[in-house]
Every structure is written in structure tokens, then in C-alpha cells.
Amino acid sequence: MTNSKELVEMALKREEVERVPFCAPFQGYWALGLENVTVMDSINNPKIAAEAQYRAAEGCRMDSVEVMWDWLLPAEALGCKVKIPEHGTIPTVSHIVNGPEDLDKIKLPDINKFYRFKAAKETAGHMSERLGKDHFLIASILSPFTLAGEIRGVDNLMVDSFMDEDFVMALIKKSVEITKAFTEEIVSWDIDAVIICDPTASGDLISAEDYVRFSKGPMSELGAVIRKAGKMHINHICGDTSDRLDIVADTGCVAFSVDKQVDVGEAVSRMKNRMAIIGNVDPAGTLFSGTPDDVRRETRRCLEKGGKRGYLLGSGCDIPVGAKYENILAMSDAVMNF
Ligand SMILES: [Zn+2]
């Protein structure tokens, strides 16, 4: 009998599967919220952070499980100020680069001594011990382009991209170096895949042309680190990316996690010889605000469109903190009974 890990691997390799795998793909912060573990508690106590994931992973029969969700952590490691919320992603609130004169401020930190990375590593260790044998384990990390936005401020970066391309290129080059160093550590863990998250290259923020100009190359470089270590390389970009699926496939990834705006049926059929597609139940509209019936309906619609080759069912982006357990269970039930 095929276990979850094997099933996910088959789907990622675009082999025909008996059942479409349930690949959340981002349950980390949601599962912490579910057990009322604050972000600070999760950092201070990796064992509790890991335990908070088990009800989500096992109760909702997730075939893949996110074992590192603190994907923005390099920003603070570089010296940006952050504000740790009770729940959810840790936002960057101040940026270390105010102009080209600050590029030298970007220095490779002592990665393994950084408190959030130490916690992430320990948490992933606990999770792979408990789940690693039969679940497909994924770590999330930010793309070089998104890191550049954290270091500089996303709005500033958007202006720079028109006004001073050389500066942006230099910033991205530094960001490649930093994200590579983190990723080289992550791929040495007992995990199966790394998802490169690139919200700043969202289809709603930059054009396909600018994605090629600023993010595609760096994403490929980071992906090469993942692939070279024998792990699977997956990308995630928020917003409507229908116009750049081929370009994303050019980064060499095995799969692309797409947001709710993308038509899954079209994406799977267009990419059938290039990469698998993961998605894309509406996170806010359905998983957070909908009823279990709404979730089941939309999940079935995705499954009908996605088919059984090169497709994995998941949320379009992070499962929102505060989404009801019953809703995620309904998503799972719909997959298992399809
Ligand atoms: Zn997203």
C-alpha cells in the first residue's frame, strides 16, 4: 500500500495516482493557533510547537506537512526589526537598507546561533522523528527577491525597480547569498522538500516581465541548492500567476503552489509535461469564512479540474490562522472520499 510520502512523491513526479494527495501546503501557523500556542511560545519551546502540529497533520490526514513555517526569519537575522505577534507570520517592521550606501550592512549572520533558526531546526527534528517515516515533510523559506523586499521595504523596492535597477540587482545578489546559506543548512535536515515562497513577486505586485528581470534567476539558483542536496524544489507565488506558469517552470522546480486566482484545470493541463500544480482552495473566502459544506464543494471542484496526474490538493496560500478545524477536516474528507 502506498503511504502518504510515496503518494506525494508520485504526484510531484506527475505519475498517475489512485488518490490525489492532500498537500496543505502551509499549515504551520494555523496549527499553532488551533492549540493556542503563541508564536513566542513556539520559538521558546520547539517540542510544544511540534506537538501543536500533530493534531493538524494526523487528525486532518495531511499527506505532506510543513515542518518549518518561520520562512521570513532571515530578515531579523540580518538586523531588521520585527514585531512578534501572538499568532501568524512575523512581520518585518524596519529595514536595514535605506539606499545603495547601506549594501555593506548586509552581512551573513551566524545562522545556527540565530534563535528563530535554532527553534525551527529543533521543531523540524521533532516532527521528522514522529512523522517522517510516512509523511512528506516540507520546509518553507523566502525567495531572494522577497528577502530583498524585507531588507529594503517592499514599497521602496517597487520604486527602486523603476528608478535604480543596478541597486536592485546588487540587493538581490546579496539576498541570493543569504538565502542560499540558510537553505544549505535546511537541506541537511531530515526533510523531503523545500518550498521557496515569493509573495513579493505576486502576480498582483509585479508583471511577468519583472518576474523574469528580478526573481526568476535567483529562484532558480536557490532551487539548484535544494535539488543538488537531493530534495524536491517547490515554488509558491501569491496572486494571479496564470501568465507566468512557463517561466516559473523554467526555474527547475518540480511543482508550483498556486493561489486561488489561477485556474487549476488549465494550469495542470498546460504544465503537464513540466511541473506539478498544488492548490488552490480559497484561503480567506472559503477556508476562513466558509462553512464545511462550502469547503467540501470547492475542494471537489478543484479535484475535478486537477485530475490524477500532476496535481496535489491544497490551500491557495497559508491556511489562515483562525480557520475552523472543521473546515480543514472537511477539505481532507473531500480529498479522501473523492
Ligand atoms: Zn501565498
For cell 528563530, what's the residue?
Answer: 116
Whichever domain contains 296, its CATH number is: 3.20.20.210
Quote the pLDDT of residue 44.
98
**How many angstroms separate the alpha carbon of residue 238 from the centre of ligand 1?**
4
Q: What is the pLDDT of residue 290?
A: 98
Which pLDDT score is estimated for 172?
A: 98
Domain that holds residue 272: 4-336
Q: 135 C-alpha vs ligand 1 centroid, how far in Å? A: 22
CA of 197 to the centre of ligand 1 (A): 7
202 C-alpha to ligand 1 centroid (Å): 8
Q: Using the mean position of ligand 1's atoms as its centre, give its distance from the Cα of residue 37 in Å.
A: 23
Q: Which of 243, 173, 161, 171 is nearest to 202 (CA)?
A: 243
| Cβ atoms within 10 Å of 95's Cβ, excluding its own | 20
Q: Which amino acid is at 207?
A: S
Cα(101) to centroid of ligand 1, in Å? 32
Going from the Cα of 200 to the center of ligand 1, the distance in angstroms, rounded, reads 9
97 alpha carbon – ligand 1 mean position (Å): 25
Ligand 1 centre from 231 Cα, in Å? 21
Amino acid, res. 108: L
Looking at residue 1, its pLDDT comes to: 80
Query: What is the amino acid identity at position 298?
Result: E
pLDDT per residue as tens, the chain (338 positions): 899 999 999 999 999 999 999 999 999 999 999 999 999 999 999 999 999 999 899 999 999 999 999 999 999 999 999 999 999 999 999 999 999 999 999 999 999 999 999 999 999 999 999 999 999 999 999 999 999 999 999 999 999 999 999 999 999 999 999 999 999 999 999 999 999 999 999 999 999 999 999 999 999 999 999 999 999 999 999 999 999 999 999 999 999 999 999 999 999 999 999 999 999 999 999 999 999 999 999 999 999 999 999 999 999 999 999 999 999 999 999 999 99
Alpha helix positions (H), the chain = 4-12, 28-34, 39-44, 46-54, 73-77, 115-131, 144-152, 154-163, 165-186, 208-210, 217-228, 245-249, 264-270, 292-306, 325-336
CA of 204 to the centre of ligand 1 (A): 11
Ligand 1 centre to CA of 263 (Å) is: 15
Q: How much distance in Å is there from the Cα of 260 to the middle of ligand 1?
A: 9
- Tell me, in angstroms, the distance from the centre of ligand 1 to residue 315's CA: 9
Number of domains in the chain: 1
Task: Answer yes or no: pTM beyond 0.85.
Answer: yes
> How far does residue 46's CA lie from ligand 1's centre (Å)?
25
Gap from CA of 280 to ligand 1 centroid (Å)? 10
